Structure 1
C-alpha cells in the first residue's frame, strides 16, 4: 500500500515539476533534481534522452532531451496518438521502447510465439486507454492498436 501511495504521489507531482523546468534554460542537474534518476538514458541525434516512466499506475511516460550544451532541449509526454501512429509492423523492440518508454506490462504467449507490450494512456479529454503492440519471435512488431482500459472502469 505504501509503494502505491508513493507512485501515485510521484505522478501527481509531475505537473508542478514540469512547470519548474524551461526548455533551453534548465540544466541536466535541474531535471534530475525534479524527476530523479531516469529509468533509462538513450543516446539521441541531438543529445541524451532521459526516460521517466509512470507505468503501470500512471498513464504517461516522459522523454526529456538534454542537449550537448547540458540544457534541457525538450520535455515530451510520449504516450500520444501521434506516437502510436508511428508504430509500424517490422519495428524493432528497442525502437518501440525508445519511442514509448517501458511498457506497463509484457505478456508472453509461447504457443503463438508472441509477446504483448501494453501502455496505459489517456485519450483526451478523459478516456482511459491501453495501447498494445504485439511482437513476434524476432522481437519485431506484428500489429498494434488501442482499446479502452477495462482495468480502470468502475465495477
Structure 2
C-alpha cells in the first residue's frame, strides 16, 4: 500500500473514533441498561459471564481501530463499568503461563493471529495507541498448549508514520 493510500485509510478511521466517543458519552455507569449499551454499540463480539451474575460485553475495534471495549452489566441489568482495555496497564496483567482464554477475556479479540508451526507457537497482535499519532502493536506469544510464553510491544509496522514515507 502506498503512502497516500495508507494516509487515506488512517483518515477513514477518524470518524470511527469519534463515533465511539459519542456513544460512550450517552452512557452512564449505574444508570444505563444493557439495552442502552446495545442501542449504542450493537451486538457484542462476545458475552462473558462474571461472578455474582454480572456479564461483560466485548466490543472490538481491531484490526481497523485501536480500541477494544469491555462493558460490564451488573446483576441488576445496569452498566457498572466501561473500559477501553488496550493499554499498558492491562497489558502488564498478561503473564507467562496464563491461559489463552484468560488473555482473550482480558484484551478481547486480536487484530491478527500468526501461527509459527516450526516453533510450535502462535502470535496474537492487538493494535493500540501509545499516544496520539503513535500506533503500536502488543503481541502475545502462545505455546502449543495455548499458554503465554512471552509478550512484546513495538511500533505498528502498518502505521503510515512507521513505514518510512512514500518510497515504500
Aligned residue runs from structure 1 range 1-155, under 5 A: 8=13, 9-45=15-51, 47-154=54-161, 155=165
Measure how far apart 1:10 and its partner are: 4.2
Once the two structures are superposed, residues 11-68 of structure 1 have per-residue CA deviations (whole angstroms, 9 ceiling, x without a partner) of 4300000000000000000000000000000011251000000000000000000000
Measure how far apart 1:112 and its partner are: 0.6
Alpha-carbon distance between aligned partners in 2 of 1:81 and 1:10, rounded to the nearest angstrom: 22
Greater shift, 16-25 or 144-153, is seen at 144-153
**Long gaps (5+) in structure 2:** 1-8
Compute the TM-score of the two structures, normalised by the length of structure 1: 0.92
CA contact (8 A) 1:53 1:61 kept: yes
**Structure 1 stretches of 4+ moved >2 Å:** 7-12
Alpha-carbon distance between aligned partners in 1 of 2:133 and 2:51, rounded to the nearest angstrom: 34
SS in 2 for 1:121: strand
SS in 2 for 1:116: strand
**Aligned Cα root-mean-square deviation (Å):** 1.7
CA contact (8 A) 1:11 1:54 kept: no
Instruction: Give the structure 1 partner of residue 3 of structure 2.
Output: none
Higher RCO (CA 8 Å, separation ≥ 6 residues): 2
Alpha-carbon distance between aligned partners in 2 of 1:32 and 1:100, rounded to the nearest angstrom: 20
**Long gaps (5+) in structure 1:** none
